[in-house]
Amino acid sequence: MEAAVYNLKAEKAGTIKLPEEVFGLSWNADLVHQVATSLASSKRSPIAHTKTRGEVRGGGKKPWQQKGTGRARHGSIRSPLWVGGGVAHGPRNEKNFERTVSKKMKTKALHTILSRKYKDGEVLFVETLGTKKTRDAVATLKTLSGVKGFERLCSSKKKRNAAVIALSGKNVETERSMRNLGNVEVIETRNLNPLILLNYKYLVIENPQEALKTLPKISK
């Protein structure tokens, strides 16, 4: 299994042999869904928090006597039935949304998504990016959008997540040059995870010879 490697002029500069166990897997929707929903749930930080009737201030005295008034009986003005009272069954910020996913499942899901993206023509391998400023990054993406199938790589709409730029290693200059682009995410290849790949259409892998070596692998 071989793929073309492009230079910054969007010209084919060579090829790279791709590992079958990473880019040759069949689609497994159940696995991807389970891993993706678990990872998304684990990232959730509950903020909304309501007080119960026992936590709302006041309401210690019975509003009126139990019988003889002709009105409904009440024991506290902080009942959920009263304005200003507690909330019944409301959201609580102490709820734990953590979901456990084994490393093997997470890695297999990552490889499955990579295989699907490669088959759909959404993975682009480039020799290097070498961008230092935002205008350089924009120019590079516009040039690479000339590759067949990657015409929307440089989308002008920030709300549309266009691409993940996977670097072979830490590169502060490239990260700074692209952090102002709202539709692009820059990350090291070793930190790729299923959620990031599912949120973006394209995957651009820089220096694939070295980058693919850092991809998570399933231990045998």
Token output for 64: 């009126």
Q: What is the pLDDT of residue 157?
A: 60
pLDDT digits (tens, 9 = 90+) for 97-156: 999 999 999 999 999 999 999 999 999 999 988 788 989 888 999 999 888 888 888 765
pLDDT band at 180 (very low <50, low <70, confident <90, very high): confident
CATH 3.40.1370.10 spans which residues of the chain?
2-28+101-214
Token output for 97: 């949304």
In whole angstroms, give the CA distance from residue 195 to residue 175: 20
Average pLDDT along the chain: 90
pTM score above 0.75: yes
> 2-28+101-214 has which CATH code?
3.40.1370.10
Token output for 165: 């730029």
